[in-house]
Structure 1
Amino acid sequence: MARVVLAMSGGVDSSAAAYLLREQGHDVIGLFMRSGEAAETVCSTDLLPVVSIKPHHQGCCSASDAADARRVADRLDIPFHALNFRDEFTRIKDYFADEYAAGRTPNPCAMCNIWLKFGKLWDFARQVGADFIATGHYARVDGGDDPTGPPTPPSLNARLLRGRDEGKDQSYVLFGIRREILGRVLFPVGDRTKPEIRELARLAGIQTADKPDSQEICFIPDNDYAGFLGRYREPVETAGEIVDTTGRVLGQHAGYERYTIGQRRGLGLAFGEPRFVVKIDPELKQVVIGTREELGRSALTANRLNWLVDPPAGDLRCTAQIRYQQQAASATARLLDQDRLEVEFDDPQYGVAPGQAVVLFDGDVVLGGGWIA
């Protein structure tokens, strides 16, 4: 069996993943990746365990979550480390603030997976002699390296697949995993549904079996994006005009960072029919409002690509997903150059937002993706 480093968030999914890996006979090491505010005592990346933790709610990366993860690790009798990645996580906060300042819609969860969970997690695994990493994400890996067999060089034949539970599938935010490590990634809960995982945790006596899922960005537990941006960065004047697609002024807004493409509610204006945010212009400080037809886009371009299969040589028929909880749509993708992709949809898509990811699928298989320009 293999030594596996598991990212433990203190939630039911990673807790159940720890139980499943241990039941399979693996040598499991739990790692809590502290990325919020510093607790009373938190170790640095010297591999020393936390001595004490002061409970304080901070989303999915809080001290109370670390305490939950430690209790599960103690229950399952597996080693546990809680490391301080505060400096690395500052990069994610900076990215979040920079994207909103540029009038784009960030996706911090996908970036956290790329930079932290499947970057630093893999680095830690190599430091402690582990050949595999695991998380509680609802996704699957097919054709990866065999954790029950002898060590082999990492395979490039592994495929990332959607999770069995369509309502909880998280493959969209995992498209940025490096292909060269995908074969060494395990998703123990990916073949099960959320109700099955909760029941498994209850039967195993895991304390987090009924813990609610985290719904907010971990560094914005009150879900107040504008408030966070105001506290995190020096105040910048972003208020301006709300206009229609012809440039006619309809009203005023308090800051364009409060809006995102496709937004319908909270516009502060009354219309005879639904209106949506169709564009954000940070230079003019304008939020552009239009009809559903004006919101629709038949094509997009993306950059900063990551492929989990060989890049296409010509037109690629696929389905393309533009938001985490949005259904993938039939499309044709083609490379414009080494790091730019064009996606042409069979039918117009609504809510194509610069800064979000577009992820390409062949059935359940994740082909790759990039960031909408």
Structure 2
Amino acid sequence: MSRVVLAMSGGVDSSVAAHLLLEQGHEVIGVFMRHGEEAVEACAIDGQDKTSSPLLPILNQRADHKQGCCSASDAEDGRRVAERLNIPFYALNLEAEFRGIIDYFVDEYSIGRTPNPCVMCNNRIKFGKLFDYADSVGAKFLATGHYAQLAHGDDGPALTRGVDAGKDQSYVLFGIKKKYLSRMLLPVGGYDKPKIREIAGTLGLNVAEKKDSQEICFVTSGKHDQFVRARRGTDSESTAGDIVTTSGKVVGQHPGIEGFTIGQRRGLGVAMGEPYFVVQIKPADKQVVIGPLSDLGCSELTASDTNWLVEPPQGSFRCLAQIRYNSSAWPAEAEVIEDGRLRVKFDEPQNGVAPGQAVVCYDDDRVLGGGWID
């Protein structure tokens, strides 16, 4: 049918996506994205110039199996799947592009915001740079293993939630450019996760029981605060300071505001006799403000840098608004205001509204658009 570039991470979702695309008659080209400064070392090909070309076939795994930022073992898993399915498999060196994602991650945490690098990666790289690559090889479509769906109606393609509500990833795709919807394929969005694993097992794919990644791809330790401090360097100003209650009482100290996010309960390092949560971060004062659950609720927010997958709404409109990837969407009244920003008023106060995260508006299961919480 059509030539398709498929982003292959070495996981079960993108691996089964390759099979599903082949079943539909497409010509599939698998692409693995090298990300981070360690990518060249971790995935280097013996005897080959590492800088001669941005497009390099992965032929073998690093002998010590050490996982760098790009995860050599993931690359090897992807290569094996591609071999079994008899499709070409390439690695793209996107170190410079991923460095921009990492810088954004570090900068946001350093000023008391909570970044979402997965959304930013989708916007800039997976549905940005990879479209450039697709164009360069004459591919009509770009596909990924995201759990979301595309519906086609009279008003054009629409991005909707995936069948598996527990795995739905439509939230992290809100920022893609509307013009790309007609060139996207999301093969696994119509299945639930157990079925995807079943298909992988039936095909004899080595990734059938591979665990889902739980951490940010470039923070391999899982300790994002340590990563941020290391990335900022020893010469940067410390963000350590006081932990205070909403009344201003100092109840402890913290090693850096980059270790906290709004709504956080665990790891506060203070005992208050009842559950306390991070309700505010004050970067200028280097303070982390904590309070009981009753202090956490937020009824209204504004968001900037909006992106719409429908015609931008005029006036106020009803929607379901989601403020975190792993949270539910709740009824709200939304309105596009000055400078294209978005105001959202929830019917009921929401906990964990964190500056730096995205708010995404839905009409039932359809993604309308969203922005970055101020």
Band of TM-score, shorter chain:
over 0.9
Aligned with residue 112 of structure 2, among 103, 114, 119: 103
**Offset at residue 242 of structure 1 (A):** 1.0
**Structure 1 match to 2:30:** 30
Whole-angstrom CA distance in 1 between matches of 2:59 and 2:203 = 26
Distance 1:28 1:216, change over 3 A: same
Code of the aligned partner of 1:281: K
Code of the aligned partner of 2:185: L
Distance 1:295 1:45, change over 3 A: farther
Distance 1:371 1:247, change over 3 A: same
Q: Secondary structure at the match of 2:302?
A: strand
Code of the aligned partner of 2:327: Q
Distance 1:76 1:44, change over 3 A: farther
Code of the aligned partner of 2:149: R
Any conservation in 2 of the 1:278–1:294 contact (CA below 8 Å)?
yes
Deviations 1:15-51 (A, max 9, x none): 0000010111101000001113222335665434234
Q: Which moved more, 1:169-178 or 1:266-275?
A: 266-275
Deviations 1:146-198 (A, max 9, x none): xxxxxxxxx97110000000000000111011100111100100000000000
**Structure 1 match to 2:55:** 47
Distance 1:214 1:58, change over 3 A: farther
Code of the aligned partner of 1:142: A
**Structure 2 match to 1:190:** 189
Whole-angstrom CA distance in 2 between matches of 1:99 and 1:212 = 29
Q: Which moved more, 1:309-318 or 1:35-44?
A: 35-44
Deviations 1:253-278 (A, max 9, x none): 11111111001111111113221110
Code of the aligned partner of 1:323: R
Q: Secondary structure at the match of 1:227?
A: helix
**Offset at residue 345 of structure 1 (A):** 0.1
**Offset at residue 14 of structure 1 (A):** 0.2
**Structure 1 match to 2:66:** 56
Distance 1:78 1:156, change over 3 A: farther
Any conservation in 2 of the 1:306–1:370 contact (CA below 8 Å)?
yes
Q: Secondary structure at the match of 2:303?
A: strand
Whole-angstrom CA distance in 2 between matches of 1:138 and 1:331 = 24
Whole-angstrom CA distance in 2 between matches of 1:205 and 1:53 = 21
Is 2:179 the partner of 1:171?
no
Whole-angstrom CA distance in 1 between matches of 2:15 and 2:284 = 46
Code of the aligned partner of 2:231: Y
Any conservation in 1 of the 2:178–2:309 contact (CA below 8 Å)?
yes
Any conservation in 2 of the 1:43–1:49 contact (CA below 8 Å)?
no
Q: Which ranges of structure 2 fall in alignment gaps of 5 or more residues?
A: none
**Structure 2 match to 1:299:** 300
Is 2:94 the partner of 1:85?
yes
Whole-angstrom CA distance in 2 between matches of 1:67 and 1:266 = 36
**Structure 1 match to 2:138:** 129
For normalisation by structure 2, the TM-score amounts to 0.94
Code of the aligned partner of 2:180: I
Distance 1:117 1:344, change over 3 A: same
Code of the aligned partner of 2:261: T
Matches for 1:152-231 after TM superposition, within 5 Å: 157-231=156-230
Any conservation in 2 of the 1:156–1:180 contact (CA below 8 Å)?
no
Deviations 1:102-136 (A, max 9, x none): 10001011111111111111111000000100000
Whole-angstrom CA distance in 2 between matches of 1:250 and 1:80 = 55
Any conservation in 2 of the 1:297–1:350 contact (CA below 8 Å)?
yes
Q: Secondary structure at the match of 2:55?
A: coil
Q: Which ranges of structure 1 fall in alignment gaps of 5 or more residues?
A: 145-154
Matches for 1:71-82 after TM superposition, within 5 Å: 71-82=80-91
Whole-angstrom CA distance in 2 between matches of 1:34 and 1:28 = 19
Code of the aligned partner of 2:233: E
Deviations 1:222-252 (A, max 9, x none): 1111211122112331111111112222221
Code of the aligned partner of 1:68: D
**Structure 2 match to 1:366:** 367
Code of the aligned partner of 2:97: E
**Structure 2 match to 1:151:** none
Whole-angstrom CA distance in 1 between matches of 2:54 and 2:280 = 46
Code of the aligned partner of 1:260: T
Q: Secondary structure at the match of 1:260?
A: coil
Deviations 1:75-113 (A, max 9, x none): 111111111111110001100000011100010111111
Any conservation in 1 of the 2:58–2:79 contact (CA below 8 Å)?
no
Code of the aligned partner of 1:279: Q
**Structure 2 match to 1:254:** 255
Q: Secondary structure at the match of 2:96?
A: helix
Any conservation in 2 of the 1:45–1:85 contact (CA below 8 Å)?
no
Length, aligned pairs only: 362
Code of the aligned partner of 1:371: W
Any conservation in 2 of the 1:156–1:183 contact (CA below 8 Å)?
no
Any conservation in 2 of the 1:140–1:161 contact (CA below 8 Å)?
yes
Is 2:151 the partner of 1:142?
yes
Matches for 1:334-349 after TM superposition, within 5 Å: 334-349=335-350
Whole-angstrom CA distance in 2 between matches of 1:56 and 1:23 = 35
Q: Percent identity?
A: 59
Whole-angstrom CA distance in 2 between matches of 1:337 and 1:43 = 46
